[in-house]
Structure 1
Amino acid sequence: MKQIYARLLRLLWGLVLYALGIVVTMNAHMGYAPWDAFHVGFAKTVGISIGTVSIIAGIIIGIITVLLGEKLGLGTILNMVLIGVFIDILLGFHIIPIANNSIFGIIMLITGLFIIALASYFYIGSSFGAGPRDSLMFALTRKTGLPVGVCRGTIELLAVFVGWRLGGMIGIGTILSAFLIGFCVQTTFKLLKFDATEIKHETLDQTYKNLFSYKKEEFHEKEAIENLKP
């Protein structure tokens, strides 16, 4: 039981860090990353918070991935909701500085990308399932037979285009984010000696079964202890 709680804590910490990384890259004011451009643009158009848009988009994407045959994990569901909540909290408290020049902006952007990479280490390592956007990428790859890079690139370009049309900030930071995020993730994983391909993610029903089995084992252990008492 302690193991699943430790994994859950790792997942939650990863989601907090992910939201922090997103806010840092946004406050760099160098141009938003693809999905952030979409979230900000949609938030401006509709008049709701960026975190709320992130939640709505995550839920819709999650539904689409299920319809395409992908299975959701606990991490997928918490990703849909909590990252948006944490983004709104961080933005609401104004604890992350806003860059006022290009040099500071680039430093903040790269820092934010490395925070996201570190968040991915914790989040993926919890093995509770991929995020909704990653699940969509996997579903499209499986359905179309196209390379995963093509599917991911198409999704990102669509998010950028829609975000730009809705008023999301597109700039050099958008290009840097697209090219540097892979490097940041690879470097972070290498330093931490973490191989994401070795992680076997649990689906939601597997997590439930494991949780139930843990409780059953605890019950039998307590029962055995009670029987040993004089």
Structure 2
Amino acid sequence: MFTIERATRRLTQLFAGLVLYGASMALMIESRLGLDPWDVFHQGLSEVTGLRFGWIVILVGAAVLLLWIPLRQRPGIGTVANVVVIGLAVDALLAVLPTAEPLALRIAFLVGGIVLNGVATGLYIGARLGPGPRDGLMTGFVALKPGRSIRVVRTVIEVTVLAVGWLLGGTVGVGTVLYAVAIGPLAHVFIPLFTVSERPVADPHAVEPAEVAR
């Protein structure tokens, strides 16, 4: 049932999640210990073009969103907000975060960034106002051929952007591996926890979290 209170909560949760997602990316970048596959790609493009990281995130998100047209995917308000807000947030946080020199601080940035990424993912996906452009790309390819494994499609996409990003100069390291191992369990915890439901859920972990690709 639609209510002003529910709509306000969903919008607040969406934008909080997107801002925190940008913050998590900034922490991982400053750790210099490795990024998730898409951010390796974003960083590589930033190195090659000279554009700020956040603007690359926005431009890549917009380009991916255009691919939704032939895939017949429908964006929501959360999809459009995802393209813009995360990029602006990551640049804003990169401008104020201190450069992490001691290894202990870099590790803290990395771990904090990954955990915050899981929380942010739960918030913005749980708001149920539209998937991120990269999520829709994955599900769109799956829909082209019913029965195709979403995990296989996600793996192919992420390995591709990781390889291209690494060749362009993006940072691949222990953080890349740690993110790959940790984001699934974190999403399993936080997506059900923050999902806005039309009816109460007795056991929030009974809700199967969506595959996360942003």
Task: Give the corresponding residue for 1:171.
Answer: 173
Return the offset for 1:102.
3.9
Q: Is the 8 A contact 1:65 1:135 kept in 2?
A: yes
Report 1:188-227 matches (<5 A): 188-189=190-191, 193=204, 197=208
The answer to whether the 8 Å contact 2:31/2:106 transfers is: yes
Q: What is the aligned counterpart of 2:86 among 83, 88, 112?
A: 83
Structure with bigger gyration radius: 1
**Partner of 1:71: helix, strand, or coil?**
coil
* Distance change (3 Å), C-alpha of 1:183 and 1:102: farther
| 3-state SS, counterpart of residue 153 of structure 2 | helix
CA distance in 2, matches of 1:74, 1:59: 14
Partner of 1:31: 34
Structure 1 range deviating more: 163-172 or 188-197: 188-197
Equivalent in the alignment of 1:159: 161
2:119 matched to which residue of 1? 118
The 1:35/1:140 distance shift into structure 2, 3 A limit, reads same
Q: Paired residue for 1:213?
A: none
- Could you give the per-residue CA deviations for residues 64-112 of structure 1, whole angstroms, max 9, x where no partner exists? 02220111111001001110011111112x2x34433444333322211
Identity fraction in percent: 33
Name which of 68, 83, 86 aligns with 2:71.
Answer: 68
Give deviations 1:43-68, integer Å, cap 9, x for gaps.
11111111111011101111102220
Alignment of 1:92-131 (within 5 A): 92=95, 94=96, 96-131=97-132
- Whether the 8 Å CA contact 2:79–2:131 is kept in 1: the answer is yes
Over residues 157-196 of structure 1, what are the superposed CA-to-partner deviations in whole Å (9 max), with x where a residue is unaligned? 1111111111111112111111211122224457764666
1:48-67 pair list within 5 angstroms: 48-67=51-70
Aligned to 2:135: 134
Which consecutive aligned stretches of 4+ in structure 1 deviate over 4 angstroms post-superposition?
A: 189-192, 194-199
**SS of residue paired to 1:115:** helix
RMSD, matched Cα: 2.1
The residue that corresponds to 2:201 in the other structure is none
Question: Separation in 2 of the partners of 1:188 and 1:99?
Answer: 28
Unpaired runs of 5+ residues, structure 2, are 195-203
Matched, 1:14 2:17: yes
| Structure 2 residue 59 is matched with structure 1 residue 41 | no
**Distance of aligned partners of 1:128 and 1:191 in 2 relative to their CA distance in 1, 3 Å threshold:** closer
What is the DSSP-based 3-state SS (H/G/I as helix, E as strand, rest coil) of the residue aligned with 2:148? Answer: coil
Q: Secondary structure in 1 aligned to 2:158? A: helix
**Length-normalised TM-score, structure 2:** 0.84
Gaps of 5+ in 1: 200-230
**8 Å CA contact 1:24, 1:109 repeated in 2:** yes
Q: Which residue of 2 aligns with 1:147?
A: 149
